[in-house]
Structure 1
Amino acid sequence: MRHIVILGNGIAGITAARELRKQGDDRITVISAETDHFFSRTALMYVYMGQLEFNHTKPYEDWFWTKNRIELLRTQVTDIDFDRHLINCEGNAPVSYDVLILAVGSKPNFFGWPGQELRGVQGLYSKPDLDRMEANTKDIRQAVVVGGGLIGIELCEMLLTRGIQVTFLVRENSFWSSVLPTEESLLVTRHIREHHVDLRTGTELASIIDDGSGRVGSVVLTSGETLPAQFVGVAVGVSPNIDFLKDSPLETDRGILVNERLETNLPNVYAIGDCVQHRTPPACRKPLEQIWYTGQIMGETVASVINQQRVTYQPGVFFNSAKFFDIEYQTYGTVANFLPKDDTEQTFYWEHPAGKLALRINYRQQDQAVTGMNTLGIRQRQAVWQQWIEEGKSIRYVLEHLPLANFDPEFFRQYEAEIVGKFNAENPGQPVTLKAKKGLFNRIFS
């Protein structure tokens, strides 16, 4: 019987543990310093906002782990002796392994701002971060959030529920314009300001000022302006949590380097999840992808690889989703924030006059095949869009059958006629006619 040790109890590590148990009787140990049990990291904001208790974020009852013979060890790993197959931990005897899976996650980025070590300055990634935020925001009036990504807007929403005034510093000229095309970025920018966030675009943090007690009291911008703040939320991205591995024989770059089977350069050592950097990324994917579902897929893949199955990591069509306050965002396939200069790709964009709903579809010029989509405020079915993109359906086909992708409740207003009408106005030569009705989804795609 092998002893398989997994470092990290996030979605990647726990998925690997569960799949390994389904496939065999090896001894499995999961080591984590963060929490006793696996929880849904994406739900942390709702705990802070009072919509959930922390116990509600745990997908499995505490007895699940013993019943499934998955040992849990809560301790801080200090280093790994790869030659002797030993994991050294604080306050515990070394743990030996036959197979090691590194699922050590990410950490928030800090960029060396003066004062970033002050109390009240932090990121939000882990359960200890949430606990710190609870303490750091008690009885405060003003907060500054630095960084215009998904965690930044979550921090803004969280703080507003406590009645805290929020200033949001975004380096770009509109929110998340490094990812979103201009129209979507401007739509979300307007929406953020409508929620009483003091959104400062084209603005960067210069330093953080001590209030005299070792706590943040204000921040200074690169423009020279000083803003009062008793809390600074840092949301300028995350990096693989691999500092403790940098001087080891394990090959790393920005992350732990792995091949298509999630194998590292060391025998019987694998890496999965946020800490991974793919030597050869799958088509249309990035070397580092810190997304919940990719960690899950890697966990499933590595379990099969360890059990000698001939599989490789295949994440499929890219997708992601988020919420910008009460506007839901979904993206499928490839939608860059700008079109290629060689005119090989075209885009169609529709936005509702009220400025709260939008749909973008990108497609190739040569064969009209859809390559990606963004939607704001209109729920879409993942299975439908993934199938359309995988099969290379044309923009005309997609628009004709657009109601099949609608996932909004039955009595929500539908916008397919308006969307097709705008496309026809822009392309009068061969008008598109809606051929599908929403109710046909179950019959066609089930």
Structure 2
Amino acid sequence: MSFIFTANRSKRGSPVIGMPCPSVYLGTVFFLLMRSIVIIGNGIAGITAAREIRKRSDDSLTVISSETDHFFSRTALMYVYMGQLEPHHLKPYEDWFWPKNRINLLRAHVEKINFDQKTLFLSGSSAGEELSYDVLILALGSTPNPLGLPGEQLAGVQGLYGLPDLARMQADTVGVREAVVVGGGLIGIELCEMLLSKGIRPTFVVREKSYWNSVLPDEESALVTNHIREHHVDLRLNTELTGLIDDGSGRVGQVTTSTGETLPAQFVGISVGVRPNIHFLRHTALETDRGILVNNFLETNLPDVYAIGDCVQHRIPPPGRKPLEQIWYTGRIMGETLAQTLTGTQTAYRPGVFFNSAKFFDIEYQTYGNAPARPDEHPDLQSFYWQHETRKLALRIYFRADTGAVVGMNTLGIRQRQAVWTEWIETEKPIGWIIGHLVDANFDPEFFRRYEPDMAAQFTRQFPQWPVETRPKKRLLFSW
């Protein structure tokens, strides 16, 4: 039991419970039992919420997952397949961490939720078929989109989302000679790199005119497209899969495409995006659209029910953000934010300046702020694009046409400091000033060649109306 002295209330009027020790706010006294907080999902969002709540309270914490016993790093799955990591390296925490911190991990599948009775109905659990909660956190993650084609259930056809997918891929690519990867996203290029590591040369089927053209502007997309082909990937553009053909044993043997080709394939990797994993909640009192609808405090329409991570759809997205953002770090921020609210400090979700990063084989990609794929469709914006003659390095900066304030950037092959770009975008630094200070954002190791003078020279030729403000040279303390 806990004696909590508080009149600080959440938006729904229920007391906000803090640490189980006396604290005085406005003098109203509540006698409360320690809460049972149940989190469905052991991904980055759910586990971050559990860890942060435990730091601030003695509430009972249970994390339910039907996928794995322990939290693991999804972004590192490819490196296990490629032999660069061992499976146990996927777990950021030792197994003793969970009991030591009194976080109960339950391997079970949630079949149904009775929101009125605050009860979960489980299967596959030794804990019984029902579990009650005081506070429910839905961190359900996402699920890969299907192709929607006959033959999709054949052996050798799969996506790459979790540990079961990794195990399937390890088994199903043994002895494979030809493979096809479908979909031009980030998982698609990871699948290509994984297959190449086993000596399997993939055919990469992409419906756009160039790789990831829905996200990257034409120049950056062309640069990455060329780089993919240089790595011995048979990239087929403006092409879609139309069928998967059984080899006679229940395994895929061929695929057909929209261009009329039939390609041999003993393995087909699917990378056509993901969607919120909320199918079992569709016909309940919980309000959903594409995802679970939440306000800026990550509250759903039901009392004591919250949602975080990939399954979330924001009713009013934070500035510069989309209603659905299925990115690793946004799940982490949501978990941290909700933990603050549930332990006495009501906190709105504020992810700040958008950023993302990826790796296209050996070219690193970073993006910050507002960086539209079609700059010419935004008359209020201008963009400066620099590309090295090797077609391995590029930088694009977006800025307001009227004031010159920088709003976003893309970079390929030149590592940049996140904190620096975040501060520049938040404070609306002018483009001329930033061009003169680009060296401050460069995060490449010492002795790497620096290209900032080349960028500044090209910018001056292209945009003479925006003078470059060069950095003052450091004075020597002594002269000889």
TM-score by length of 2: 0.90
1:52 aligns with 2:85: yes
Contact kept? 2:49, 2:338, Cα under 8 Å: yes
Displacement of 1:107 in angstroms is 0.7
- Report the alpha carbon displacement of residue 206 of structure 1 after superposing the two structures with TM: 0.3
| Equivalent-residue separation in structure 1 for 2:301 and 2:35 (angstroms) | 20
| Mapping of residues 86-101 of structure 1, within 5 Å | 86-92=119-125, 93=128, 94-101=130-137
State the secondary structure of the residue aligned to 2:104: strand
CA RMSD of the aligned region, Å?
Answer: 1.3
Which residue in the other structure is 1:69 paired with?
Answer: 102
- Partner Cα distance (1:108, 1:319) in 2: 23
Distance 1:87 1:341 in 2: 48
* Matched residue type, 2:49: A
Alignment of 1:257-406 (within 5 A): 257-339=293-375, 341=377, 343-406=379-442
Q: Of 422, 440, 443, which aligns to 1:407?
A: 443
Relative to the length of structure 1, the TM-score reads 0.96
Structure 1: unaligned runs, 5 residues or longer: 441-446
CA distance in 2, matches of 1:61, 1:436: 49
Q: Does the 8 A contact of 1:400 with 1:436 survive in 2? A: no
CA deviation profile, 1:222-281 (whole Å, cap 9, x unmatched): 122100001111100000011111122111111111111001111100000000011110
Question: Residue in 2 aligned with 1:124?
Answer: 160
Asked if structure 2 preserves the Cα contact closer than 8 Å seen for 1:420 and 1:433, the reply is no
Secondary structure of 1:363's partner?
A: strand
| Deviation at residue 430 of structure 1 after TM alignment | 5.4
Q: Secondary structure at the match of 2:411?
A: strand
Distance 1:8 1:421, change over 3 A: same
CA distance in 1, matches of 2:226, 2:376: 27
Aligned mates of 2:430, 2:71 — CA distance in 1 = 42
Alignment correspondent of 1:40: 73
Q: Give distance in 1, aligned partners of 2:472 and 2:374.
A: 31
C-alpha deviation, 1:322, in angstroms? 0.2
Q: Distance in 2 between matches of 1:411 and 1:112?
A: 50
**Per-residue deviation, residues 326-372 of structure 1 (Å, max 9, x unmatched):** 00000000111112546210000000000000000000011100000
- Report the CA distance shift for 1:198/1:83 in structure 2 as closer, same or farther (over 3 A): same
Please, which runs of 5 or more residues in structure 2 have no aligned partner?
A: 1-33, 476-480
Matched residue type, 2:107:
R
User: Given that residues 433 and 469 in structure 2 are in contact (C-alpha distance below 8 angstroms), is that contact kept between their aligned partners in structure 1?
Assistant: no
Q: Contact 1:417–1:434 (CA<8 Å) still a contact in 2?
A: no
Q: Determine if contact 1:404/1:436 at 8 Å carries over to the other structure.
A: no
SS in 1 for 2:375: coil
Q: CA deviation at 1:402?
A: 0.6
Structure 1 residues 259, 429: CA separation in 2 closer, same or farther (over 3 Å shift)? closer
Matches within 5 A, 1:123-162: 123-162=159-198
SS in 2 for 1:371: strand
Per-residue CA deviation, residues 410-446 of structure 1 (Å, 9 max, x unaligned), is: 1111110111111011123554253168x99xxxxxx
* 1:78 aligned residue: 111
The higher radius of gyration belongs to: 2
The answer to whether the aligner puts 1:10 opposite 2:48 as a matched pair is no
SS at match of 1:374: strand
